[in-house]
Structure 1
Amino acid sequence: MSAADEILDIVDENDQVIGQYSRGEAYARNLRHRCVFIQARDREGRIFVHRRTPTKLVFPSLYDMFVGGVVGAGESYDDAALREAEEELGVSGLPRPAFLFKFLYADETGRTWWSAVYEVRCDLPVRPQVEEVAWHDFLTEEEVERRLGEWEWVPDGVAAHERLKAYRTAGDTAR
């Protein structure tokens, strides 16, 4: 089965399932669905960054500071986060990613999806999927911030990154 044939839950503005369509149809019709974003860090705290392959259906050849993807029909966000992290990092036995928050992503083209953001520490040697990842490295937060102005990044990842920084800042001020 191709990625375009994968069945997704279609959801409303409150993230309630209202139907199911193939990924290809959901993308073609800009139907709201669910995605997971997982920030993976190594034992030194560096962030896994990668460039997507040119064959990706959405945002081909762009850089991303999250691993992740769509949530399959009937799949929970938590299960999708673990599955996607292990698939994209090319590892097994990863700890379950920790849920942080959820937001509704929308862009100027009308694409929209509910986005659940997670974090996970990966102490295992990574072997990213060659179908998904054209290049990868672990970068410091400072390096990621510097590269934000230099590289072309996936827009939903940038939106998740900005929200994650705000989330962490709010957590620091609450302590």
Structure 2
Amino acid sequence: MTPERPLAADELLDIVDEDDRVVGRAPRGEATARRLRHRCAFVLARDGAGRIFVHRRTARKLVFPSRYDMFVGGVVGAGESYDRAALREAEEELGVSGLPAPEPLFRFRYETPEHAWWSAVYQVRCDLPVNPQREEVAWHAFLTPEELERRLTGWEWVPDGLDAYRRLLALHGGALPPLPAGPATG
């Protein structure tokens, strides 16, 4: 039996330079294999109680398979804005529609010997019942910040998400930013 092909290897991405300027395009599989810098959106999804959506990625993911992540999100498609990708990816991974626009928090460049991308970090309040994509999410739960903190050393996390989470906490004095307001009620 041959292994299944990783997800989304043919998705077309903008390739960017060290200053996040578009310098070309390539399929995602090629960008990953050749360490071409591209763009990603990370969205911290929190419910009305402030709990964080945490999930374990499926084994078929192209990058960091079977690892835990405290962000939903993914690559920004060719010609797509960070803002649009953040909303699209959050709705896709959470399995919801009608989320408010994610709130932009900061950007950073993630670079290792294997990977390179510009990352835009957002947060969104999700009070909708979630139904995560089975192709993307093997397990999920909403965890309190304290529960998440206890699991940071025991679980194998995606390194870019862990880096983004630590940067987020550092920017806010060790705490999460205020929870975005919920939907208006009549």
For the residues of structure 2 that align with 1:52 and 1:123, how far apart are their CA atoms? 22
Q: Counterpart of 1:39 in 2: which secondary structure?
A: strand
> RMSD of aligned C-alpha atoms?
1.4
Q: Which runs of 5+ in 2 are unaligned?
A: 1-6, 177-186
> Displacement of 1:169 after TM fit?
1.5
Correspondence for 2:53? 48
Q: Is the CA contact 2:169–2:175 (under 8 Å) kept in the aligned structure 1?
A: no
For the residues of structure 2 that align with 1:15 and 1:35, how far apart are their CA atoms? 11
Correspondence for 1:159? 163
Q: Could you say which structure has the higher helix fraction?
A: 1
Show CA shifts across 1:44-67 (max 9, x none): 100000000000000000000000
1:65 to 70, 93, 103: 70
Correspondence for 1:125? 129
For the residues of structure 1 that align with 2:147 and 2:116, how far apart are their CA atoms? 29
1:24 to 26, 29, 32: 29
Correspondence for 2:180? none
Show CA shifts across 1:86-135 (max 9, x none): 0000000000000000000012x331100000000000000000000000
Matched, 1:98 2:103: yes
Correspondence for 1:168? 172
> Displacement of 1:10 after TM fit?
0.1
Q: 1:34 to 1:88 in 2, by over 3 A?
A: same
For the residues of structure 1 that align with 2:74 and 2:175, how far apart are their CA atoms? 26
After the TM superposition, list the runs of 4 or more consecutive aligned residues in structure 1 that deviate by more than 6 angstroms: none
2:145 to 141, 145, 150: 141
1:111 to 103, 108, 115: 115
> Displacement of 1:171 after TM fit?
9.5
Q: Which runs of 5+ in 1 are unaligned?
A: none
Show CA shifts across 1:20-48 (max 9, x none): 00001000100000000000001110000
> What TM-score comes out, normalization by structure 2 length?
0.89
> What TM-score comes out, normalization by structure 1 length?
0.95
